[in-house]
Amino acid sequence: MTSGELADATIVFDLDGTLVDTAPDLVRALNETMAIEGLPRVKLDAVRSMVGQGARVLIERAAARAGVNFRDEKIDQLTEAFVDFYRADIARESRPFPGVEDTLAGLAAMGAKLAVCTNKRTELSLQLLTALNLTDWFAAIVGADAVTQRKPHADHYRAAVARAGGTIRRSVMIGDTVADVATARGAGAPVAVVAFGYCDVGAEKLGADVVLNSFSEVAPACRRLLAIRP
């Protein structure tokens, strides 16, 4: 690939389970939160299938596994506690997936604009990406709190593309869950999912255009998907 091949493209990434393996720190904060209510700890593998809709839903799912359904006010309190636990040591064990930094550098060298579209809060996304020295690659980092309708709503994806200075017609979504596929489909954009992400069903069942087994496949996949766009 030569420099400039993706000069008009915007590549949009999910964060948790796509760019960064955050599950070890998420399960730490979740279990500290569960302990407040005396609920059993959640195992790491279980958390990997529960991530994707933000902290509040993660807590609801964890509580439901223990047969507990909290009122909204209690969920609000526990969500804030979770965020405090998580923020305090956000990148203790979180690491970019293998090949992420080389892939971002390669896409940028080809002229692509890069963005993050995540159901994580924007401030936490920035804190995490900064701790991992990844922030500067992205023209836009758009969390769930930065939009009126978050993923799987298409407007979240549209906002990420627009804030990066791109167009939907020349954009691609890279994610790991059904929410990522739905937000791209709703916006009329192609989507690829990583096989190693956080999902409770196989990646091949999500309905994406491409399933990626490693980050080395991201740039070639984006090139192919954009080449067939009208």
Q: Which long-range contacts (CB under 8 A, 24 or more apart) does 1-4 make?
A: 1/106, 1/110, 1/219, 1/223, 2/110, 3/109, 3/110, 3/111, 4/110, 4/111
CATH topology of domain 10-22+94-227: Rossmann fold (3.40.50)
Q: What is the model's pTM?
A: 0.91
One-character DSSP codes across 14-64: -SBTTTEE-HHHHHHHHHHHHHHTTPPP--HHHHHTT-SS-HHHHHHHHHH
Q: What pLDDT is stored for residue 52 in this prediction?
A: 62
Residues 6 or more apart whose Cβ sits within 8 Å of residue 167: 8, 10, 161
Q: What pLDDT is stored for residue 1 in this prediction?
A: 38
**Residue 165 to residue 32: CA distance in whole angstroms:** 39
Topology agreement, domain 10-22+94-227 and domain 23-88:
no
Q: What pLDDT is stored for residue 45 in this prediction?
A: 81
**Residue 16 to residue 72: CA distance in whole angstroms:** 25
Q: What pLDDT is stored for residue 228 in this prediction?
A: 86
Q: What pLDDT is stored for residue 2 in this prediction?
A: 41
Q: Which residue type occupies 120?
A: K
Strand extents, DSSP E, the chain = 10-13, 20-21, 95-96, 113-117, 140-142, 171-175, 191-194, 210-212
Reading the chain (230 residues) residue by residue, the pLDDT tens digits are 344 889 999 999 999 999 999 999 999 999 999 999 999 898 888 877 777 677 788 899 888 888 888 888 998 999 999 999 999 999 999 999 999 999 999 999 999 999 999 999 999 999 999 999 999 999 999 999 999 999 999 999 999 999 999 999 999 999 999 999 999 999 999 999 999 998 878 899 999 999 999 999 999 999 999 998 76
Ordered by start, the domain boundaries in the chain are 10-22+94-227, 23-88
Residues 6 or more apart whose Cβ sits within 8 Å of residue 101: 134
Q: What pLDDT is stored for residue 65 in this prediction?
A: 85
Q: What pLDDT is stored for residue 25 in this prediction?
A: 94
Q: In this structure, are residues 29 and 56 in contact, taking their beta carbons and an 8 Å threshold?
A: no
* Main-chain dihedrals φ then ψ at residue 8, nearest 5 degrees: -105, 10
User: Does the domain formed by 23-88 have CATH 1.10.260.40?
Assistant: no
Q: What pLDDT is stored for residue 95 in this prediction?
A: 97
Bond preceding residue 152 cis, omega within 30 of 0:
yes
Catalytic-labelled residue, pool 14, 16, 21, 176: 14
Does residue 89 have an active-site annotation?
Answer: no
